[in-house]
Structure 1
């Protein structure tokens, strides 16, 4: 057992201990409170004067798929040869040896939601991974987690260059609809096949994963920057009665009232970047504050490698400078990120029974001068500052 003592604990579960303790038993949190009596054989870490938060969660990135310091050889995030590729799995492309995983955990990022890029209308399957492990099987928290879809400029640009659809937003929406209709038909055949084995269709990897979307076992993870693209994503999700998260959501703050009305799940970012595309003209660090003050639950992401994953707390810090409540900013990179991506049963807050993913900082995590002193993943000490 390990006991962390005397630190300021921000549980992200609406409870803060000015001077509290956390008891870790194996991979999980066994107890949180004040003046916990440590078992005789427990390793003691004195966190006097330090801040303790849940391991940080990046809800949308491409870590391990666009490898640090590499070009084509390490670029495995976009299979830009077919606009519909739901069968692709992130875990078959992620390299656990990507240096970015080490940098992530050294800065307190313990969980990453990573997957395909946005070249395709349907890009493939995202996965939630811990940032420590020698092989992908040791890192998986949840897989598959979601199915990536993309609206706006990226699919248009990629496929108009190949003289094939989509070259317009109309075609992007139509291609997504057609794929979901095909999945509906495949689902109906499966139902018939259960009653009559002779009618069971041949296995189809594309359709199998989209049937999980139709069954609400997996959400769509929608790349959408512009307000009209965000609303198109919501429109299609409602048409097919599927779950969806709105990722990037760059102009979401311009339609915050609509997002609140739709009870939208919003993941904002990357914000610490340039306006390199037309659809980013309204990029603003004020967006998280506007959305959260409107009542929309907000998470923030890096889109790594667009912003290196270790700078997620920096993004949250700037959002506070631009008007976001400090606790809401911390939630946006912990519990909100976990809830929106469907992994809050294990990560995102410090609660009894959850994974012992813990980041201990020398001061306020949103003060860029603060450093990580200790980082735990699944109860293992994976980083200690020398």
Structure 2
């Protein structure tokens, strides 16, 4: 913005649009989408420096796999949205979301900010362990416990490396450090109201900055949802 007011001179390269009788308002931001993210991302078993479970890939970042979708962007802009946070699909630990513009520019130009928050699902089914909700909850807790151990192990090694072997590098656990340190939020999908309480329990246990993607039925248990203190 170069100038605001009456009787101002437009820059010579400006495009003049007559907005008489219209309103100007800030563009809306959708905080949870899969815009520009393919549904066919491979889910190979973890190996080397990645997690052993195919449903745990928090190291993924939407900024690295995002491709603008002209038709979808146009539809969103028509409804007043100018930017979205887009997350990787699939998995229990799905990866980090990225804030992108709904523009016709290249992926690099559309990305405004990477690693906004980590997406976590308690209901993603895989062809192997875990196949039950109880198992998925256990895997989420164990993964956070492993991430905290990993941080402690590296801290101990860096303080006194002499005579010690360095811990094995694990990019999946390393990528969860911003969550366990409270630097980045964890976004839990909650397709039903009890999932809100489950997410709140996990967040309380590990000190997470919790966001919840709600289901639209929270009004049925409004007081208990409010008392949980979660951000929907």
Do Structure 1 and Structure 2 share a fold, with TM-score over 0.5? Answer: yes
- For 2:64 and 2:74, locate their aligned partners in 1 and report how far apart those are by CA, in whole Å: 20
Give the structure 1 partner of residue 199 of structure 2.
233
SS at 1:60 equivalent: strand
Q: What's the TM-score, normalizing by structure 1?
A: 0.52
- For 2:217 and 2:41, locate their aligned partners in 1 and report how far apart those are by CA, in whole Å: 25
Displacement of 1:91:
2.1
- For 1:197 and 1:50, locate their aligned partners in 2 and report how far apart those are by CA, in whole Å: 66
Displacement of 1:241:
0.6
- For 1:169 and 1:102, locate their aligned partners in 2 and report how far apart those are by CA, in whole Å: 37
CA change 1:136–1:238 in 2 (3 A) is same
Displacement of 1:189:
2.0
Mark the runs of 5 or more structure 1 residues left unpaired by the alignment. 1-23, 67-74, 267-386
Q: Please give the residue correspondences for 1:317-336 in structure 2 after superposition, counting only pairs within 5 Å.
A: none
> Which of 211, 215, 219 does residue 181 from structure 2 map onto?
215
> Which of 30, 34, 38 does residue 8 from structure 2 map onto?
38
Higher relative contact order (Cα pairs below 8 Å, separated by 6+ residues): 1
CA change 1:210–1:55 in 2 (3 A) is same
Aligned CA-pair RMSD: 2.4
Q: Indicate yes or no: 2:61 matched with 1:89.
A: yes
> Which of 46, 62, 80 does residue 34 from structure 2 map onto?
62
Mark the runs of 5 or more structure 2 residues left unpaired by the alignment. 46-53
Question: Once the two structures are superposed, what CA deviation does each residue of 1:208-246 show, in whole Å capped at 9, x if it has no partner?
Answer: 211110111211111111121111011100110101111
Displacement of 1:172:
1.1
**Between Structure 1 and Structure 2, how many residues are aligned?**
220
Give the structure 2 partner of residue 188 of structure 1.
152
Tell me, yes or no, if the aligned pair for 2:70 and 2:104 is still in contact at 8 Å. no
CA change 1:168–1:251 in 2 (3 A) is farther
Give the structure 2 partner of residue 178 of structure 1.
142
CA change 1:76–1:53 in 2 (3 A) is farther
Displacement of 1:126:
1.2
Give the structure 2 partner of residue 256 of structure 1.
222
- For 1:103 and 1:80, locate their aligned partners in 2 and report how far apart those are by CA, in whole Å: 33
Give the structure 1 partner of residue 75 of structure 2.
103
- For 1:79 and 1:114, locate their aligned partners in 2 and report how far apart those are by CA, in whole Å: 19
Q: Please give the residue correspondences for 1:304-343 in structure 2 after superposition, counting only pairs within 5 Å.
A: none
- For 2:76 and 2:144, locate their aligned partners in 1 and report how far apart those are by CA, in whole Å: 36
Displacement of 1:151:
1.8
Displacement of 1:255:
2.3
CA change 1:191–1:137 in 2 (3 A) is same
Q: What's the TM-score, normalizing by structure 2?
A: 0.83
SS at 1:59 equivalent: strand
SS at 2:75 equivalent: helix
- For 1:112 and 1:226, locate their aligned partners in 2 and report how far apart those are by CA, in whole Å: 23
Give the structure 1 partner of residue 95 of structure 2.
124
